[in-house]
């Protein structure tokens, strides 16, 4: 079993929809949680960064961390076709390597 | 703002050849990570350096080695290349000194094709 589980999708939604992306994890030592967006053949782009439990909002993006359930989420409001990409969750214990989920492929249709 | 720079962007090598990938971190970042991403796979951690010292090691084959230099750039050396080494290789950098956080920023990657 992988340390970080993420549904690979694809997740198809119409433009304007609210998108919910999720990851579960097994390592209770993880404290730092990140969401990356990756377009095909490009490097992962950091979207959201959260330390410990709680919510964080940045524009159309909201990240939630529930350490008690070992569950993190990324919400995208008013989704746009340009949001179509693979979304990777990643987490770490501290100043150490990131452990990634497999990524969820999101398709937003006009 | 300056980002993580990787070179080359594309590299084609034959089996059993060697390859050197370079990474220039964001200025004032002291930590460099190397990841390997196969087709349709999530990035797999290879190795990391903090202040020019190896800080962590993941699933890096013995045929690979890496180092971080005094100017904080890093090089990943790959020898006796195999077909299975074909992948995207990403470098990421972060700063352990600034804000005590671990935000890691990735470069655009080097696509290595072994034929």
Confidence bin at B77 (pLDDT 50/70/90): very high
Decide if pLDDT at B115 tops 90.
yes
Q: What is the pLDDT of residues B28-49, one digit of tens each?
A: 888 999 999 998 888 999 999 9
Distance from CA of A94 to the nearest CA of B (A): 7
List the single best residue of A97, A100, A102, A104 to mutate versus B (max B Cβ within 10 A): A97
The whole-chain average pLDDT of chain B stands at 91
Q: What is the pLDDT of residues A38-62, one digit of tens each?
A: 998 889 999 998 888 889 999 999 9
Decide if pLDDT at B99 tops 70.
no
Decide if pLDDT at A72 tops 80.
yes
Confidence bin at B1 (pLDDT 50/70/90): low
Q: In the 8-state DSSP scheme, what is residue A39?
A: -
pLDDT at A52: 84
- Name the maximum alpha-carbon separation found in chain B: 44
Kindly provide the b/e burial profile for residues A68-84, where b requires at least 16 CB atoms within 10 angstroms of the residue's own CB.
eebebbbbbeebeeebb
């Amino acid at each position: 079993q992988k340390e970080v589980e993420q549904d690979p999708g694809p997740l198809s939604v119409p433009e304007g929809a609210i998108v919910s992306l999720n990851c579960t994890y097994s390592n209770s030592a993880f404290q730092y949680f990140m969401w990356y967006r990756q377009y095909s053949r490009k490097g992962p782009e950091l979207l959201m960064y959260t330390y410990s439990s709680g919510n964080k909002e940045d524009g159309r993006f909201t990240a939630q961390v529930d350490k008690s359930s070992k569950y993190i989420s990324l919400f995208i409001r008013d989704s746009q076709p340009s949001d179509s990409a693979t979304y990777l969750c990643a987490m770490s214990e501290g100043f150490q390597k990131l452990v990634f989920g497999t990524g969820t492929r999101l398709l937003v249709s006009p | 703002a300056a980002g993580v720079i990787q070179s080359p962007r594309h590299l084609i090598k034959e089996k059993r050849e060697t390859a050197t990938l370079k990474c220039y971190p964001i200025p004032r970042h002291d930590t460099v990570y190397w990841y390997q991403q196969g087709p349709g796979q999530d990035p797999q951690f290879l190795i990391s350096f903090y202040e020019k010292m190896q800080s962590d090691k993941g699933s890096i084959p013995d045929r690979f080695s890496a180092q971080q230099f005094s100017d904080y750039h890093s090089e990943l050396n790959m020898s006796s290349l195999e077909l299975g080494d074909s992948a995207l290789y990403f470098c990421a950098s972060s700063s352990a000194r600034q804000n005590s956080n671990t935000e890691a920023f990735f470069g655009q990657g080097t696509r290595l094709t072994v034929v």
